[in-house]
Amino acid sequence: MSNESLTVTPTLNVGDEAPDFTLKSASGESITLSQYRGAKNVVLAFFPYAFSGTCSAQMPSYQAELERFNSYDTQVLGISMDATHSLRAFGEQLGITYPLLSDFYPQGKVTDLYGVRHAAGMPERALFVIDKSGKVAWIHVHRPTGEAPDNEELFEVLRKLG
């Protein structure tokens, strides 16, 4: 079976209103997407599994660039279907300070809202940029190649948002 047949297509398009949600962070805080409306762009970084090899490279790459994200008035939110205690341990091990959100219960609700559930059940490695008005500005579903997405394309989108 090819990788393409294992992936899904996001149900959202650029220009769509981003579906609002509230999820628990690894620290137990409730984070709501709309709390950033009017103040910050948001990068939603869906990832399959805490502690997997590619995710353990991808998620710290955003941490390493937090100052750059801040310079573009952008909040990074990592989202997986892992439980909060797993995400807490994952974040602590990797030194991640931005919120890691658990889409654990109900299982995959936000993953499904954004149309990025892999046929195997976990989230795709997918990036969404939500602009300050709450609209989807960019979507990238990274096909399973075992490599983390390149952040430069993401920063080019943020630069264009001003």
Tokens of 124: 């795709």
pTM: 0.90
CATH top class, domain 3-161: alpha beta
Known catalytic residue: 55? yes
Sketch the domain layout of the chain as residue ranges: 3-161
Give the amino acid at 147. E
Q: What is the DSSP code (8-state) at residue 52? A: -
- Positive or negative CA dihedral for 23, 137, 126, 156? negative
Residue in 44, 50, 55, 59 annotated catalytic:
55
CA distance 84 to 102: 6
Distance of CA 161 to the CA centre of its chain: 18
Over residues 44-64, the pLDDT tens digits come to: 999 998 988 788 888 999 999
Over residues 120-153, the pLDDT tens digits come to: 888 988 999 999 999 999 998 876 555 666 799 8
Of the candidates 6, 38, 5, 2, the one whose C-alpha atom is nearest the C-alpha of residue 121 is 6
